[in-house]
Structure 1
Amino acid sequence: MTKQEFLNKFESEKLKLGEYIMILDKISNAPLVIGCAFDQGMWKVYKTKERGGHYIIKETGSENEAFDFFNELVLSAHNRLLN
């Protein structure tokens, strides 16, 4: 899925991330971020730790592949909140 398709789904399904915030326009080092951003020619799915500092979970040249993976990550976080 594309970034816009993901955003539409995220809003329509009212998905929650708990203590995490979502950033999709850049890679952030702020605490407790889950994100997907186009950086240096690649799509990068990443998280940050409680005290900041990011780590890349997946890196791909495909926007669809990145947001399919990111969607699964977000759904997993959402489902953990519900249980």
Structure 2
Amino acid sequence: MTKAEFIERIKKENIRPDEYLIVLDKITDAPLVLGCVLEDNKWKVYQTKERTGHFIIEEFNSENDAFDFFYETILFYS
């Protein structure tokens, strides 16, 4: 799915990943974030913990593949 489809779907299904915030516009080191962003021509799914900064969970060449994976990741934390 695309980024726009992902946003629409999580709103429609009222999905909220417990303590985590969802960030889709940049990589941040803020605590407890799940994110998916385009950086250096790669879609990067990342996570932050309470104090340790961010780490990349997976990288994708395709927006659809990235947001399909990110959707499943969000469901895991919901």
The size of the alignment, in residue pairs, is 78
Identity of aligned residues (%): 53
Whichever residue aligns with residue 16 of structure 2, its letter is K
**Secondary structure of residue in 2 paired with 1:18:** coil
More helix by share: 1
Q: TM-score, normalised by structure 1?
A: 0.91
Counterpart AA for 1:15:
I
How does 1:17-56 map onto structure 2 within 5 Å? 17-56=17-56
SS at match of 2:76: helix
* Equivalent residue, structure 2, for 1:81: none
Summarize deviations over 1:24-72 as a string: whole Å, max 9, x none. Answer: 0011111100000001110000000111410000101100000000000
Alpha carbons 1:47, 1:54 under 8 Å: kept:
yes
The answer to whether the 8 Å contact 1:30/1:52 transfers is no
- What is the match of residue 72 of structure 1? 72
Q: Secondary structure at the match of 1:59?
A: strand
Question: How far apart, in 2, do the equivalents of 1:42 and 1:69 lie?
Answer: 14
For residues 34 and 52 of structure 1, the distance between their equivalents in structure 2, rounded to whole angstroms, comes to 14
